[in-house]
Structure 1
Amino acid sequence: MDSVLLMLDDGTDEATKQMLQNLIERKRKLDKLHKKQMFFLSLFFLYTFLFIYLFYKKLLIPYSDSAFQIISSFFDSRMMLLLLLAGAALLGAVKIFRDQKDKAEEEFHALRCEIIDKSKDLWKNDAWENRHKIFEMMERKFGINLYHESK
């Protein structure tokens, strides 16, 4: 369990601490997947610019007089076909990581909303008065908003 959660007062029971720990883990997973997606998306854009530059230098300039020559040279060149295939693979990786990130975001948001909905049950009586301290700590340390359900 995260050290910050271990230091919470007696107003927070173990089940609530475990729910908060799960929320923190899902947030970290979401952030990790977001970074992976952004890395591959950036790599894809850089790769696309490189591909366009090579296409221009190797095919458009030498064969600019005929569109047929450009197309036939493109399909005759193994390098250009392999570069196109590698670009498609990068685009597929971006899609896979986006789908994984979207799924992780849905899971994170569902658990966050569940904690918000059950906050009256999780923090009873005296603990209800001090729950804002836990909410502020979660916002400050982990970037998790437990005040409102909207993203």
Structure 2
Amino acid sequence: MNALNHWKIKPFVNELTSIVLAQLVDKKVEKDKWKKAINQWGLSMIFVVLATFVYLYYYKLPTASRFSNPLTLLFSDEMVWICTGFIIFSSFYMIWMKKKYKKADDDFEAIRKDFIDRNEEWWSDEEQWNQRHVVFEFMKQEYNINILHK
């Protein structure tokens, strides 16, 4: 909430508008947090998959005989089991995080659309109404939140 007491917008918002904008910023931060976590886990999962293939290609394939069963070769190695376990865990964890991200995104969009729909209620006097574009620009530049259009 302290971030919204910025000198540029403080004269143009009343207390209720400031509270709603602060909620909007909080929801945006939460949404961005889940998006960043999903990206990090996805990249780590891709790295583990690539590392597993490199491990199999450079360390297991040269030691395998021509007549050995490839499935036995794969399932007898504990490193492959560890990597497979990590990939399965990461997949389920990413599904859970995507649900959290979807909920955070829905909450953010609901507050944002409600703010846009009730635009006339947030600006109590004529000067605030005429200078609301300053708040719109500030929110877009500082937090990348568009409260001008749906």
Superposed, 1:22-101 pairs within 5 Å as: 22-63=23-64, 65-66=66-67, 69-101=69-101
Superposed, 1:112-131 pairs within 5 Å as: 112-126=112-126, 127-131=128-132
CA distance in 2, matches of 1:132, 1:64: 72
Q: Which moved more, 1:77-86 or 1:21-30?
A: 77-86
SS at 2:79's partner residue?
A: helix
TM-score (norm 1): 0.86
Deviation at 1:125, TM superposition (A): 4.5
CA distance in 1, matches of 2:112, 2:31: 13
CA distance in 2, matches of 1:69, 1:3: 63
Specify the code of the residue in structure 2 equivalent to 1:30.
Answer: K
Aligned length: 147
Gaps of 5+ in 2: none
TM-score (norm 2): 0.86
Deviation at 1:121, TM superposition (A): 1.4
CA distance in 2, matches of 1:29, 1:129: 31
CA distance in 2, matches of 1:86, 1:141: 38
Q: CA RMSD in A?
A: 1.9
Of structures 1 and 2, the one with the larger relative CO (CA 8 A, separation 6+) is 2
Specify the code of the residue in structure 2 equivalent to 1:79.
Answer: M
Specify the code of the residue in structure 1 equivalent to 2:40.
Answer: F
Gaps of 5+ in 1: none
Deviation at 1:91, TM superposition (A): 2.1
Deviations along 1:64-109, whole A, 9 cap, x unmatched? 745x711012222222222211221122222222222221111111
